[in-house]
Amino acid sequence: MRCTRRTLTAVTTVLLLAATAACGSGSDSPKSGSVKDSGTTKLKIGIIPIVDVAPLYLGQKKGFYKEQGLSLSMTMAQGGAAIVPGVVSGQFQFGFSNSTSLMVAQSKGVPVKVVTNGVGSTGREGADFGAVVVNKDSPIKSAKDLEGKKVAVNTLKNINDTTVRESVRKDGGDPSKVRFVELAFDQMPAALDKGQVDAAQVVEPATATVKARGGRVIASNYVDTARKLTVAMYFSSTQYVDQHPDIVKKFNAATQQSLTYANAHPEEARDIVRTYTKIPQATLDKVTLPAWPAQWNRPSLDTLAKLGEQDGLFAKTPDLDTLLP
């Protein structure tokens, strides 16, 4: 599904209104709790249709969630910033969001709480699942060359433009001169082909799609930010965490098992991606899988918080001790 971008002020208003609505709901409401059917708790999860969330589908297939008495129903969104209000309002019981989106929400007083890890960088320069890419005939050779150029990111004022700025900064360039535009990941390869943007910050499977068309990686922005960057995590609303600690515990256990399994069985993780994306098999075979550690990297989150504050993303310094379990 596609989500229209709102301004930061508008998003804040929607989030706070959603939080108010959620707090006013009773625990028996379908939106504030979860649906039980024949002993199985059905959960709605807000996700992005990218490789990052493969462990959820794999865990569902392997029966890890069923063993915990859970059944997952996934709903697609463009980015973590769009998923946050859905979780806070009770549309989803859990969501997948990049770390910066969660910090932005928490810094604004939006009641969100991380429940388990999501995805991390491989830590390998030039061989990460996320990268800044250009067409094969582009004159852009490195991150410094992005000065004055139009760069696509999936959500403005978020983790991807912040980390791209860090790549530019580390390459000796001026990050304030980069022009960012918002575009869904799956639209970025075509936008590059048509010359609508000069570069794009992509994640798999868009990374492999661009490479298959002859595109080049000119920066590994996640690796430039922190070698083992925690890129995204699964979260819920503080209300849901408080009201349903047993379900949160079960979801956490099943998801950690799924992350560990995906890391140990990369080809199974790769194969499951075909069930929720339309990526061609030839491209899928070349996808660089991310890391799926069961635990987040706290120092990398501290770095993201510092960069986000430097870029003016937060209303106040995010409290990671409150955001994290």
pTM attached to this predicted model: 0.85
CA distances from 118 to 47, 63, 190, 258, 309 (A): 11, 19, 28, 10, 23
Q: Is the dihedral of CA 212, 213, 217, 222 positive or negative?
A: negative
Instruction: Report domain extents, the chain.
Output: 8-121+229-323, 130-225
| Other C-beta atoms lying within 10 Å of the C-beta of residue 263 | 16
One digit per residue, the tens of pLDDT, for the chain of length 325 reads 333 333 333 334 333 333 333 333 333 333 445 666 568 999 999 998 889 999 999 999 999 999 999 999 999 886 666 799 999 999 999 999 999 999 999 999 999 999 999 999 999 999 999 999 999 999 999 999 999 999 999 989 999 999 999 999 999 999 999 999 999 988 999 999 999 999 999 998 899 999 989 999 999 999 999 989 999 999 999 999 999 999 999 999 999 999 999 999 999 999 999 999 888 888 889 999 999 999 999 999 999 999 999 999 998 899 999 999 9
**Residue 205 confidence (pLDDT):** 85
**Residue 24 confidence (pLDDT):** 33
CATH of domain 130-225: 3.40.190.10
The CA distance from 250 to 131, in Å, is 34
Helices (H), 24-79: 54-62, 64-67
**Residue 227 confidence (pLDDT):** 85
CATH of domain 8-121+229-323: 3.40.190.10
Q: Tokens standing for 296?
A: 């987040």
